[in-house]
Structure 1
């Protein structure tokens, strides 16, 4: 047998504990605090930019309960798939401030490829239940104006007695000048106008109209203004429709729905509709 040798035992050296620097610990805490505040600030900015800023006129949480403007008798709503399955029998007898519901404007298309999943059902029911109906196209910054116009015309077939086609425009591409943007909007309007021989209605919110669609050429088009939680419209120009709240509630519709008024008589509203 081979002789065994005892392993050498290593003596453990005492580990020196490093003294914590008071200033370094404090700096770390400050860095963590600044980083946390930075993340919160970014979150708030993203939330505002994507959810509040573009549709600030819709932000119910900032303004509270809806207000109903005085002096108007012609009331209507606008709907989309967000309202789900509507009970039209119940809606038929709905009243707003003691006045019957007269018109319903329905989301039809968005961009160059999206059809609202409830459009055809809502569009047919609106006429069957005796409402003056309309259809709106939601403008997309990701498709050309020409593509969007022809997609709308392909999917939407307005008839005599329907309101003129509506362009819902709430966003401008950041990399496009105001002049180019206005040209694009006019392209959509002209293509659709050539089809129906009526001026389309422009829907947008108060500040967007002032900032991007203030050129005199747009004054030729009926204006549907979105301006919430105010006693009266602050826009000084002419307008036909006013979407005054997104917090309306009616029998037959679950949740909230947009309330609108028409700036005129019922006779005027019918005259605005498409004539053959």
Structure 2
């Protein structure tokens, strides 16, 4: 009798995970997803109150979680943070920002804020995590939260698109650099997800309608819509996936 193949597990028991920007929105959903799959999760952000509340909620739900204050734009602090801890098995590179405005109104301050957090910090957090993985022989998974705007353009999104397109290229090159160490690197590219960051924009009826006109499945995304993909990329079920992007856009980029 031919033995049936066995589906690789999506469980993460015994794994450790780090999620940046983890106090709310996509970051909180990522941390919850990983904890629910069995990983011990470290939530980091600048706001102690938010991440401690989030970690406490995960623990009340039966998961393992701790909160650690970290400003990922402070690269010296990033290096010190990773140097003081064992290698993580999983990184969710989520911290990000946006300053939507016409490109003719963009200031150097806007540029530095968006590219500094969305790209520079993402790169050096990934580098620090990967160095620890390599040093300790950990076959890990880097998951970068990109955007559909890393695959298309949009009005008033020149900086955001620049950062997310760059993240996609960075991800592919990182995947090649780290493949010999059995460290995978992938992105998740969501459409508009209703979070504290996007909610003020989505409350504008005209803007919300323009978004829904391009979302073929007819609704704004929720953080829960990303949790399955995050768990997949973190797990052994995705052990042959690296250097790619999972676009969760409800059909936006299909046109």
User: What TM-score bracket applies, with the shorter chain setting the length?
Assistant: 0.3 to 0.5
TM-score by length of 2: 0.40
TM-score by length of 1: 0.38
Identify, as 1 or 2, the structure richer in strand.
1
Identify, as 1 or 2, the structure richer in helix.
2
